[in-house]
Chain A
Amino acid sequence: MSFTETQFEDLPVIALAGRIDSGTAKSYEEYLLARLEDGRPALVLDLAGVDYISSAGLRVLLIAVKRAAAQNRGFALCQLQDTVAEVLEISGLTALLRVQPDLAAAAAAVRKE
């Protein structure tokens, strides 16, 4: 499990890596909600390094998108691995979690919001 702060153009991005499961969900939740407090315009998450997500992880992403919406911030996920994209699709969360193919699309999506 790891978090890396990166940047795409002028937009702060968080790259997540590892499994988002019932053992790590709490740490991801605390980290993401704390990042929403730092004034960033949007929570843009690069999931390229995440190969596994369970319902515990979906719950964290749902909490994060709800918090972002409540604060009028943007939200987007991008660069999902196939297995993770499949779990979101089966769960009916692809649109709600603003899944985008890459960082450019994610940046464009949150600038439009």
Chain B
Amino acid sequence: MADASLALDLRPEAAEVVRLLDAFEAFAEAQALPHKAILQAMLVLEELAVNIVNHAFPEGPGAAVEVVLTLDSEGVLICDFRDRGRPFDPFQEAPAPDLTSDTAERRVGGLGLHLVRQMVDSTSYHRADGINHVRVTKNCRAGAGG
């Protein structure tokens, strides 16, 4: 099977995250990816997109976020996010998740990126020419349980 890809430019605002999820779901179903892998990949996309929307542009809405999703012939989904927000490596700088506090003290901060790390096979970040480039890859076929 040839590579398939989906490219979207997202305005950095909350409603655009839902547009990304809906577009990916339709793309993934057209590619006949397993249901569980689709849901896990949606989670990864939502958390990465929300992170950018919420944190990359403290000065107010910035330029569009470029999202390119590529499904290769092996069933590996490569997710690329490029934004022109402030420098931020989500895999190094996000707060550590709180997985153990009691009810009254438990916090959700950092959980989203913790989930991303658990659901993907690789993560990378680099910044060049004023652009944050985040890439994650996930095998979506054959025994890919996340």
Contact = CB atoms under 8 A, between A and B. Distances in A.
Nearest to B21: A21
A93 B2 CA distance: 40
B42 to A, nearest CB: 6
A56 interface: yes
A86 B40 CA distance: 10
A54 B47 contact: yes
Interface residues of A, number: 24
Given A54-B47, A92-B97, 9 more contacts: A22-B18, A23-B14, A23-B18, A55-B108, A56-B50, A62-B106, A86-B146, A87-B115, A92-B98
A65 B103 contact: yes
Contacts of B40: 83
Contact of B106 (A51, A52, A82, A96): A96
Contacts of A73: none
A62 B115 CA distance: 16
A54 B46 contact: yes
Contact of A55 (B36, B47, B104): B47
A92 B100 CA distance: 7
B102 to A, nearest CB: 8
Interface string B90-111: 0000000111101110101001
- Of B39, B99, B100, B118, most buried by chain A (CB within 10 Å of CB) is B39
Interface of B: 14-15, 17-18, 21, 36, 39-40, 42-43, 46-47, 50, 97-100, 102-104, 106, 108, 111-112, 114-115, 118, 146
A27 to B, nearest CB: 12
5 tightest Cβ-Cβ pairs between the two chains A and B: A92-B99, A55-B112, A23-B18, A59-B108, A55-B111
10 contacts: A22-B14, A23-B21, A55-B47, A55-B112, A58-B108, A58-B111, A65-B103, A66-B103, A69-B103, A83-B39
A91 B114 contact: yes
Nearest to B107: A62
Contact of B15 (A23, A52, A55): A23
A56 B50 CA distance: 9
Contacts of A91: 97, 99, 111, 114-115
Contacts of B98: 92
